[in-house]
Amino acid sequence: MLKLKEMAKKQKGNLILLGVYAFFSGASILGQAYLFATIIDGVFLKGVPFSDITTLLAGLLFVLFARTLFNYLIGKTGIKMASRVKRGLRQFLLRTYSNTTLQSSIHGQSGQKVSVLLDAVDKVDSYFSKYIPKIFQATIIPVLIFIVIFFEHVPTGVIILITAPFIPIYMVVIGFKTKDKSEEQLHKMAAFSGKFLDTLQGLTTLKLFGHSQKQKEEIRKSSLEFRDATMDVLKIAFQNSLILEFVSMLSIGLIALEVAIRMIIFQDLSFYTGFLMLILAPEFYNKLKELGSAFHTGKGSIGAANVIEEELENTFAPVTWGEEHLDEKTPPTIVLSKAGFRYGDAGFSLTNINLVIHPYENVAIVGKTGSGKTTLLHVLAGLFPLTAGKILINGNPRDMYKEEEWFGGVSYISQSPYLFSGTIAENIAVGSRHSTTMEEIEHAGEKAGIAEVVRSLADGYDTKIGEVGRGLSGGEKQRIAIARAFLKRPSVILFDEPTTGLDLYTERILQESLDELSRNATVITVAHRLHTIQRADKIMVMEDGKIITAGTHQELLNHALYKRMVSVQQGGA
Ligand code: ADP
């Protein structure tokens, strides 16, 4: 549960500071009022000479300065609290996202996630930078003022006692409405961001299929919904300040009327006291009004915190890791025992997977499209958590080991590896956890067979490639991924073989690179080429999320499904 209150309580030091500052700020407001009343009373009614009030004027100046100073300190403390909380929240969200990279990317849109990470977290800001400081000011200062008013002139105190409670009561009523509306607004905002990014990334597809007009319409609709939700929140905010303004004006008017009647008609109230009341009453209601608007922002922040929490609940529970050491450089024995994995509650599932992969073995996974080969590769890589059964590495549950040592030994070459926006060199260097020299990168590029392509580019390894690796073909992207593997020298290689036919040259390079890598590693390939399948030490045939049979090529030739698949391959070749 993401309780903003709990987070605030963790910053005890700052809360105490806020209380102290608020007290002194209240004291300077009172001092200011007393000095004002004394000076005006002395100069205009008692005819005190100007020279006698210079010390009072100096005091007034001092008090005004103190009031400004404490207000500044209150604001600063609030911002300090907010930035600490926001930093913590963002780090937490980022950690959650990155711990569950693949799992969470299954759900939702990236734009939506960015919106939660940036906008919703920013919304939480005002809880700490505005709401909490105002709560301190709006409770401590009015109480101080109220005590003084009661002490000086009881009837004004009584009027305040009757009218003031309306403000908090009204606020409580309005607060709940705001919370819901503001949650809705953030949802709309996230939906809008998500839709926008999604459309941007799929622009080519949309254009090709003539859907861009429809998508434009949807973005328009999404943005209008966001506008309406924003307007709703603003409407409540304006209504809110109108009512607060109204109640406080009415109360101040009442106090002024009472003071005037006492001074002019009954003449039983001194100018000094009456004037003091007229200075203090607006200060009192101003603070209460500020509490009202702070309450509004506070509830908005709580709404935002709920949105963040929902987002966190939507991501998978991360794979947890232990502290045991694992030798990254020696291939481990991998055993899956009754292992299962399921996408979501009712999605596709892998069931009862039993297999043993010995060090340096060359394993091929085959099966029809959609049989679960890629999913099994993800599970083997440790990107998806098992939902049933066990995965043992060298006889121990995998989650006993340190995360970085497991991943330090694994290279996963997917069908379309992700390239970050940056240079080719930077993208290859991703493969190493240590800093790499240009020589090492060039060497890896050479081994991966990308060097020739790079040489043909004007900027060579410094050529910038865009987001999603614009400007490189699928085969080239895979070769960059292989170059990463050459830097990393993994002990386990997971390879999703290209389904599309590569040209002979590229195919030979890929084969040679993998052969070299496999000398020091176990290789598990989702295989499409007969060549790969025939050379494998072990072939696993998948259907509907299960391994239906396993063996060598010779052994499997008696298997009907396998034979059919192979003959299709041969027909294609
Ligand atoms: P293969 O690699 O054998 O073609 P996959 O492992 O990619 O098969 O997919 C197996 C099944 O899992 C498919 O039916 C697919 O719809 C489903 N699937 C794949 N990825 C996801 C995902 N991210 N969320 C839910 N279902 C998925």
Centre of ligand 1 to C-alpha 343, Å, is 8
Pocket test for ligand 1, best of 375, 496, 524, 526 (most atoms within 8 A of CB): 375
Q: Is the CB of 105 under 6 A from ligand 1?
A: no
Q: CA-CA distance, 324 to 56, in Å (whole number)?
A: 73
Q: What is the pLDDT of residue 103?
A: 45
Q: Are 133 and 139 in contact (CB under 8 A)?
A: no
- The arithmetic mean of pLDDT across residues 268-283, rounded, is 92
Task: Output 516 or 8, whichever has higher pLDDT.
Answer: 516
Centre of ligand 1 to C-alpha 348, Å, is 7
Q: CA-CA distance, 82 to 93, in Å (whole number)?
A: 16
Sheet containing 349-357, strands listed edge to edge, beginning at the edge strand earlier in sequence:
349-357, 334-342, 388-393, 396-397
Give, using CA atoms, the residue closest to atom 7 of ligand 1. Answer: 374
Q: Is the CB of 94 under 6 A from ligand 1?
A: no
Q: Is the CB of 343 under 6 A from ligand 1?
A: yes
Of 360, 356, 352, which Cα lies nearest the Cα of 393? 356
Task: Give residue-wise pLDDT tens across range 361-387.
Answer: 999 999 888 899 999 998 998 888 888
The H helix count followed by the E strand count for the chain is 22, 12
Task: Give residue-wise pLDDT tens across range 453-498.
Answer: 888 887 888 888 865 455 787 778 888 889 999 988 899 999 988 7
Percentage of residues of the chain with pLDDT beyond 90? 33
Matching CATH topology for 4-313 and 416-489?
A: no
Q: CA-CA distance, 436 to 454, in Å (whole number)?
A: 18
Other beta carbons within 10 angstroms of residue 100's beta carbon come to 20
Centre of ligand 1 to C-alpha 345, Å, is 14
Centre of ligand 1 to C-alpha 230, Å, is 38
Pair of tokens at residue 125: 């800001």
Other beta carbons within 10 angstroms of residue 341's beta carbon come to 22
- Domain spans of the chain? 4-313, 416-489
Centre of ligand 1 to C-alpha 374, Å, is 7
Q: What is the pLDDT of residue 61?
A: 95
Pair of tokens at residue 19: 């209380």
Q: Are 423 and 465 in contact (CB under 8 A)?
A: yes
Q: What is the pLDDT of residue 100?
A: 55
- The arithmetic mean of pLDDT across residues 134-155, rounded, is 91
Give, using CA atoms, the residue closest to atom 15 of ligand 1. Answer: 370
Pair of tokens at residue 466: 């865009």
Pair of tokens at residue 473: 């073909």
Centre of ligand 1 to C-alpha 40, Å, is 82
Q: Is the CB of 223 under 6 A from ligand 1?
A: no
Tallying the residues shown for the chain, one arrives at 573
Backbone angles phi, psi at 524, to 5 degrees: -120, 115
What is the CATH number assigned to the segment(s) 416-489?
Answer: 3.40.50.300
- Helix 132-152 to helix 12-40 angle (10° resolution) is 40
Q: CA-CA distance, 471 to 571, in Å (whole number)?
A: 33
Please provide the DSSP assignment of 120-144 as one string. IHHHHHHIIIIIHHHHHHHHHHHHH
Centre of ligand 1 to C-alpha 215, Å, is 26
The DSSP H or E segment spanning 392 is strand 388-393
Q: Is the CB of 222 under 6 A from ligand 1?
A: no
What is the CATH number assigned to the segment(s) 4-313?
Answer: 1.20.1560.10
Pocket test for ligand 1, best of 348, 377, 524 (most atoms within 8 A of CB): 348
Atom of ligand 1 nearest to the CA of 371: 3
Please provide the DSSP assignment of 311-348 as one string. HHHHSPPPPP---B---SSSPPPEEEEEEEEESTTTS-
Atom of ligand 1 nearest to the CA of 377: 6
Please provide the DSSP assignment of 500-555 as one string. SPPPHHHHHHHHHHHHHHHTTSEEEEE--SHHHHHH-SEEEEEETTEEEEEE-HHH
Q: Residue 422 pairs with which residues in a beta bridge?
A: 465
Give, using CA atoms, the residue closest to atom 12 of ligand 1. Answer: 348
Task: Give residue-wise pLDDT tens across range 157-194.
Answer: 999 999 888 887 877 777 677 777 777 887 888 788 77
Q: Is the CB of 369 under 6 A from ligand 1?
A: yes
